[in-house]
Structure 1
């Protein structure tokens, strides 16, 4: 929806985020890097898209009713904020389970929206939060888990909206897509849409070097809270990023379509942190550590493919 007109609902301002070119962190690189500003969604991240999509789908299927159903969701970050926004918007009680390693500021924001937060052992990562959510759902009547990790409405939101936005903004000149993976929805939804437009497009999931489940390695603690996506074009590489607490969750999510890619990229936490600082100091983009990881990954891809231009599309939380 156009931002030049009055809207009737908070859901109407989700999506249609701008694409911004980076100019300084790419100095000396034979590439053009652009970022998709997902922080312009109302709750501040790309997760707004899938939170609203999952709630709307569950309502349409008669699984949840505002004012009656208690929504429950395991999360490690921005999904919780996005769902808290949607729950407040539509009148649902929301209970979130998350590792206690998540920031105090994030927990405080969730409570401002009215969500109840239950903390789990960080050593069990997201799996522990999922198990706690499942236990709650069994104990609480009239409750429902939306389950971003397997809910088809997650990748569908990106297939129907985010992917087409990117295709239009890049004028169809996309060669490669790099996507930080949390729930897998962005990589799968956008990746599928782009490859349908051009089967030659390559898709690369991105994950922390220290927690590389997609590469078949065990989960270890890392410093990258969040990440998401990327894409390219005929000698112009467009890489899409999202900052979503949840990158490197220690498992391969059901929503990750593994037929879309042949290789996953790994980024060291310290490299991601350094790049995140550069984005703030040199581009005035407060994108966070996962954004730094995505930019690092896009540069890896650029060097690997010897592309003339590279456009990381960053999603800030």
Structure 2
């Protein structure tokens, strides 16, 4: 159980209270069905989700299959997760779901997807960004009608999580708490992972590993579970920033790192991963290396990838080249303006 930390009492308590729930494996389709019954307008959000390309890229003796998620609505895999979190909140709320008042923390992609969806649905949303996150994201969220708070300097991503927990309490909002939401992993198993499995089977590919940069870890878990029935030995490989590895014992820092991923600090492990972290291969990629991978992947394939997606490709390419065979890598998004500025610099 997570011990409350000075300055981070509410979020560490929330993680501890939800620890057991984090390890459950719900059926997303059942949650979605209830949500659609309660708020039919959610169906409009389905139209821009899924069916993203699965692109093979040579890597020495092997191949990397890139699941290119930038074609989702809002240009990120986080659109799928945001939809899952909204379905879960709508299905679980006791009153009229049209009156939901939500709060969530975000590094950028998740929040912008939530902001766009909540604007579409007319839902009240408050987003908390970590200090030092892209200003363009704050501005976009505000333009979509979301309230925006930026966490205190030096508090890292955990500070944004704590601020969101405090806002949930002070403003009586539903806290989505993505790090403790197994519905996201369930959605990625039934949708993202199922798409990948069908594409690989049609191509006669046999994956040996799945590589994804991890924020909560829901994408990696869900895709791995979807592939295991056909390829039981497929290995999950989690990519974290070298500046903030999984279970990072150090306090949160403002160090630049690839977006949408990272350890939380103080030894806190991602709750969704705890039950499976004994079998996960953890890799770290420094931010400068992820930026170089962005430009190299674009040079080789003409695909635009965010820093975390490019890092996943980098790790997957090394595995495929060394071992041969097929490796899947999830490319979460196309990359922000700020990431591409850093990459070009």
- The TM-score normalised by the length of structure 2 is 0.76
Query: Is the Cα–Cα contact under 8 Å of residues 100 and 174 in structure 2 kept in the other structure?
Result: yes
Match of 1:124 among 138, 150, 155: 155
Shift of 1:280: 2.8
Shift of 1:215: 7.0
Instruction: Pick which of 36-45 and 307-316 moved more.
Output: 307-316
State the distance in 1 between where 2:251 and 2:283 align. Answer: 15
Shift of 1:155: 0.8
| Structure 1 partner of 2:189 | 159
| Structure 1 partner of 2:75 | 44
Tell me whether 1:302 sits opposite 2:302 in the alignment: no
| Structure 2 partner of 1:253 | 270
| Structure 1 partner of 2:292 | 274
State the distance in 2 between where 1:122 and 1:65 align. Answer: 37
Structure 1's 220 and 130: CA in aligned 2 closer, same or farther, altered over 3 A? closer
Query: Is the Cα–Cα contact under 8 Å of residues 210 and 219 in structure 1 kept in the other structure?
Result: no
Where in structure 2 are there 5+ consecutive unaligned residues?
Answer: 1-41, 335-345
Task: Describe how 1:43-192 pairs up with structure 2 within 5 A.
Answer: 43-63=74-94, 65-141=96-172, 143-171=173-201, 173-192=206-225
Structure 1's 246 and 205: CA in aligned 2 closer, same or farther, altered over 3 A? closer
| Structure 2 partner of 1:4 | none
Query: Is the Cα–Cα contact under 8 Å of residues 247 and 290 in structure 1 kept in the other structure?
Result: no
Match of 1:194 among 208, 224, 227: 227
Question: In the comparison of the two structures, how many residue pairs are matched?
Answer: 287
What are the superposed Cα offsets for residues 40-89 of structure 1, whole Å, 9 maximum, x if unpaired?
A: 11111101111111111221222564442211001112110111122112
| Structure 2 partner of 1:288 | 306
State the distance in 2 between where 1:70 and 1:277 align. Answer: 40
What are the superposed Cα offsets for residues 142-192 of structure 1, whole Å, 9 maximum, x if unpaired?
A: x10111100121111101111111111111622111121101111121122
State the distance in 2 between where 1:300 and 1:152 align. Answer: 30
Task: Describe how 1:4-23 pairs up with structure 2 within 5 A.
Answer: 9-22=44-57
What are the superposed Cα offsets for residues 269-298 of structure 1, whole Å, 9 maximum, x if unpaired?
A: 211111111223342222121122112211
Structure 1's 263 and 311: CA in aligned 2 closer, same or farther, altered over 3 A? closer
> What RMSD, in angstroms, separates the aligned Cα atoms of the two structures?
2.4
Match of 1:197, SS state, is coil
State the distance in 2 between where 1:217 and 1:131 align. Answer: 17
| Structure 2 partner of 1:230 | none
Structure 1's 195 and 215: CA in aligned 2 closer, same or farther, altered over 3 A? farther
State the distance in 1 between where 2:319 and 2:251 align. Answer: 24
State the distance in 2 between where 1:175 and 1:125 align. Answer: 35
Match of 2:76, SS state, is coil
State the distance in 1 between where 2:228 and 2:112 align. Answer: 30
Task: Answer 1 or 2: which has greater helix percent.
Answer: 2
Shift of 1:36: 1.6
